[in-house]
Amino acid sequence: MPSWESATIAMEAVNLELETHFEHLSDPHFLGNTRDHIGRYAAEGCARGFYAIAIHQQILSWQLDDLVLEQLQSGEGLVEDVI
């Protein structure tokens, strides 16, 4: 099972990248093509961030699936019987 830590590291890298892009976009000296290029890179950084989030969510889903399987295989069931 992959570790969720790798997705967290990826997201931290994306956040640093986006900080840089947005800092440059806020600079009024950049005009025209330069702003377009920086904006495109920022959009690609956002897409990478969404991919990292999706990977993280998938890993958490797999971990929950593993917990359910362990519980079912132990024969204890998922909830207590109250009788």
Q: Where are the domains of the chain?
A: 4-74
pLDDT of residue 41: 84
Model confidence pTM above 0.85: no
- Eight-state DSSP code of residue 76: S
What does the pLDDT read at residue 75? 73
Closest to 4 (Cα-Cα) out of 56, 50, 63, 41? 56
Please report, in tens digits, the pLDDT of each residue of the chain (83 residues total): 666 677 778 778 888 888 888 888 788 887 788 888 888 888 888 888 888 888 888 888 988 898 888 888 887 666 665 55
In this predicted structure, what is the pLDDT of residue 46?
Answer: 84
Q: How far apart are CA 54 and CA 50, in angstroms?
A: 6
